[in-house]
Chain A
Amino acid sequence: MNQIRLVHTTAFRLAMRYTGFVCLLTIVCFAIIYWVTISQLNTQIDAGLRAESTALTRLYALKGISGLQQTIAALSTTKSLAASDTGDAGPRQYLLTDAHFRTLAGSLTDWPAGIAAQDEVWTTLRLRALPGQPGLDAEHHHFEMRAVALALPKGYHLLVGQSLDELIELRNTILVLTAAAVVLVLIVGILGGALVGYGVLRRLQNVTRTADTIMAGDLSQRIPEEHGEDEFDALAGKLNAMLERIEQLMQAAREVTENVAHDLRSPLTRLRGRAEMALMKGGDAMRQREALQKSIEETDGIVATLNAILSIAQIESGKRRDWKPVDLAAVCHDAAELYAPLAEEKSLKFSADTGNVPAVTGNRQLLAQAVGNLLDNAIKYTPTGGRITLSLTANGPQSVITVADSGPGIPPELREKALERFTRLDTSRSTPGNGLGLSLVKAVAEHHGALFALEDNHPGLRVSLTFRSRPA
């Protein structure tokens, strides 16, 4: 058995592709958020530092170095009051030195190396954290700091810094969130894909399971149809219709076999009996000759029946051979011409009215045979002096062939039965025929997508074949 694996299903693979796409989109979104947020924060930090350094420069101008020294000492110990005031992230760091970079006040111990403080220098520093340094967590050995170094008049140096810890924290948070979002998308995508894939797989397995059962010989199996409207139900519906048709054909084939067996057994029995009787009768050459003659006739009858059964079976098998546009008027006209003398012979009033109708697509031989059979039946069953009409009329897009007679007709309850194979309503078997005439007409009608109806002609039988002008 060809088990389909979930990961190989189209639905799952499509879901995976889609998931990958969504992951990429998530990463791009978070990257944009990251860059916007970080650059915003950087700008804010720089603005805060600029404001602070400007304020301190002004304080120095007003109160001189001692005033500044006091303020910075106060700021360095009061654990980032300013920071919380301004709403900045993280505590500020200060350092005031003299011209030789000797510390005068501040939270930092030494002037960071590498900064030549002329005018104003912006930099990002990585510093070793001091134990107990205000505003810094003990576990941080290093911290990053955004700083501005200023050269004050009289050779003093001032450095104002802002720890970037919170910025880094935010950055990490965004990264973690991104990873989480991607993982979530992956989980949802894989689960969703599996779910969809499983759903598709399950419904397809309905089909494969049914196919397996059918292959094992049970043709009555059908694919279960579910919610009603989706493409799988449409597919199941189509497949079921196909199976229905196949089963019908198998059934028809079986019927043919049974019919052949049934309907040929009696004439074969007669044939055999006749041959045996001829042997028994001994020397009478005349009677033997007669028996042989009868045997040949019986054989011809058997062959005719066999041919009729086979041609009905062939028509019912649905293979459209010799399929061409056919002029129904010509078909009816020819049939009328062929049968008119026969009707006349029996003193029946026969009239044919064949109007022009659009051509239908079909097999001329079969249509001619069908119309011929209808006329033959009508002539056969209508008593002498009766009336038979053949007409072809256009009824909108439809073309209707009607054969009506004034014979005994068929009672409504027997009409269905009349179409069955080998049904002959006169049980006496006084009329010649194998009981396949109407079955053939019915088969030809179905083959051409035409409607075949038996109606009351008050009195008599009216048979009509209704064709769409362009049967599919």
Chain B
Amino acid sequence: MHGWPTEAGLPYALCMHLLIIEDDAETAAYLVNGLQESGHAAQHAGDGPTGLQAAQAARYDALVVDRMLPGLDGLSLVRKLRDAGNTTPVLFLTALADVDDRVMGLQSGGDDYLAKPFAFAELLARLAAIVRRHGAPEPAMQIKVADLEMDRLKRSVKRAGQPIALQAREFRLLEYLMLHAGQTVTRAMLLEQVWGYHFDPQTNVIDVHLSRLRTKIDKHSVQPLIHTVRGTGYRLGESPP
């Protein structure tokens, strides 16, 4: 259903069908409303057993699971789902922002992890990323967005046929953006995926790296490809968000 955009620059229109398993009614209402406002379909389950039942009864694009749930905690719920062969992507929400906790969440079958409180845009970006990754074929070795081409094997980048020299980290940054073309990626996602850091650097160093990359990619072109999504992160694509 959701493949990698084969044609460069296509706006990645995605309507996700989501299940929110969250015991705090107000948080759940905020999530359901927010997701619906953003054009997604969201259902809500208020405790572990109900959530497990709902997750098994219908197909969802992703589950948003709170770690602490009455009846059946989030980790066990996801473990049960995985044991039953259900591979629906899971994003854990937690009030515990411990690294151990994060590792445990990912080990029990979660796909991503988000600490409360979070920016709604961060949740959306991460959901889009795990939904897209799920069931998608291995990304191609050659990726193309508009006139920007990347050969992941030769590690070369061309814009409008002109080669662009990138440092190793810049290449990985661009690669991640191109693999998530049309999607908003947040600074935290970039820091985690490109640098492998799970902490918050006090200054927004990511912005500086992005602005350098942007200079190299968009300098000689009329059409910018790297767009800033205000207050959230970045998006690579033909049209601005």
Contacts and interface: CB of A to CB of B under 8 A. Distances in A.
A371 B94 CA distance: 28
A299 interface: yes
Contacts of A376: 201-203, 205
Interface residues of B, number: 21
Interface in A7-46: none
A186 interface: no
A300 B122 CA distance: 13
Interface stretch (B96-104, B106-114, B138-146): B96-104
Chain A interface SS verdict (over half): helix
Interface in A351-379: 365, 368-369, 372-373, 376, 379
Given A341-B208, A342-B208, A372 B201 contact: yes
Contacts of A372: 197, 199, 201
A300 B117 CA distance: 8
A338 B198 contact: no
B12 interface: no
Contacts of A310: 97
Nearest to B213: A341
A341 B212 contact: yes
Contacts of A365: 99, 197-199
Contacts of B195: 334, 338
A303 B117 contact: yes
Contacts of A321: 99-100
A432 B203 contact: yes
A143 interface: no
Contact of A304 (B198, B200, B209): B200
A433 interface: yes
Contact of B202 (A299, A322, A437): A437
B203 A380 contact: yes
A334 B195 CA distance: 8
Given A372-B201, A373-B202, A341 B209 contact: yes
A307 interface: yes
A256 to B, nearest CB: 15
A396 B35 CA distance: 58
B220 interface: no
A339 interface: yes
Interface residues of A, number: 30
Interface in B188-221: 195, 197-203, 205, 208-209, 212
Contacts of A368: 197, 199
B208 A345 contact: yes
B80 interface: no
A255 interface: no
A314 interface: yes
A314 B203 CA distance: 22
Nearest to A434: B202
B176 to A, nearest CB: 15
* Most chain B CB inside 10 Å of its own CB: which residue of A303, A321, A339, A380: A303
Contacts of A433: 202
B155 interface: no
Contacts of B117: 299, 303
A300 B208 CA distance: 21
A468 to B, nearest CB: 24
16 contacts: A322-B99, A322-B103, A338-B195, A338-B201, A341-B209, A341-B212, A345-B208, A365-B99, A365-B198, A369-B199, A372-B197, A372-B201, A373-B202, A380-B202, A380-B203, A434-B202
Interface of B: 97-100, 103, 115, 117, 119, 169, 195, 197-203, 205, 208-209, 212
Across the A-B interface, give the 5 residue pairs with the lowest CB-CB distance, nearest first: A341-B208, A369-B199, A376-B202, A342-B208, A342-B205
